[in-house]
Amino acid sequence: MDTNVLFIFILAIFVGIEVISKVPSMLHTPLMSGTNAIHGIILFGGILVLADASTPLAQALGFVAVIFGSANVFGGFMVTDLMLQMFKKKK
């Protein structure tokens, strides 16, 4: 076990809290949707396990994981962008 990873984990917790502490509530929905897209990085996990899959079961489950992860990441970023492009200032 590499303790560096744990170190990064702990720091990331505080960065995550700090970085959104001043978010106005008007942006909570896009923020939730945006962070939702960021955890779509699980697609990588799906790719990694599927690349190494050796049994049909592992391939099937890995395939499902890739579909899920891909829908999460692409759908998440797209829907957030759709929402945010509507925020306009008064002309």
Partner 1 sequence: MSSTIAFIIIGVSVLFILGIKFLSSPKTARIGNLVAAAGMFIALCVLLKTDGTSVWSHGWSFNYTLIVIGTIIGLIIGAIGAYSVKMTSMPQMVALFNGLGGGAAALVASLEFIKDAKAPVIAGMEIPVAHQSTAFIAGSMLFATLIGSLSFSGSIIAYLKLEGKFEKPMTFPGQNILNGLILLVILGLCGFLTFNATNGNATTAFIVMFCLALFFGVAMVMPIGGADMPVVISLLNSFTGLAVAADGFAINNLAMVVAGTLVGSSGTLLTLLMCKAMNRPVTNVLFGAFGSSGAAQAGAAGVVGTVKPIQADEVALLLAYAQRVVVVPGYGMAVAQAQHSVRELTEELGKRGVEVQFAIHPVAGRMPGHMNVLLAEANVPYDQLIEMEQINPSMDRVDVCLVIGANDVVNPAAREDKSSPIYGMPIIDADHCKTCIVMKRSMAAGFAGIENHLFYKDNTRMLFGDAKASLNARVAAVKAS
In the complex, least distance from residue 18 CB atom to partner 1, rounded to whole angstroms = 9
CA distance linking residue 78 with residue 76, whole number of Å? 6
Here's the x/- map for partner 1, 22-61, by CB under 8 A: it reads as xxxxxxxxxxxxxxxxxxxxxxxxxxxxxxxx----xx-x
Count Cβ atoms within 10 A of the Cβ of residue 75 and give its class: 0-12 exposed, 13-18 middle, 19 or more buried.
middle
Cα–Cα distance list, 78 to 15, 82, 89 (Å): 25, 6, 22
Considering CB under 8 A, how many residues would be counted as binding partner 1?
Answer: 79
70-89 footprint of partner 1 as x/- string (CB under 8 A): xxxxxxxxxxxxxxxxxxxx
Min CB(4)–partner 1 separation in Å: 9
Q: Per CB under 8 A, does 7 bind partner 1?
A: no
Closest CA to 41 of 14, 17, 12: 12
Give least dist CB 17 to partner 1, A: 5
Minimum distance from residue 51 beta carbon to partner 1 (Å): 5
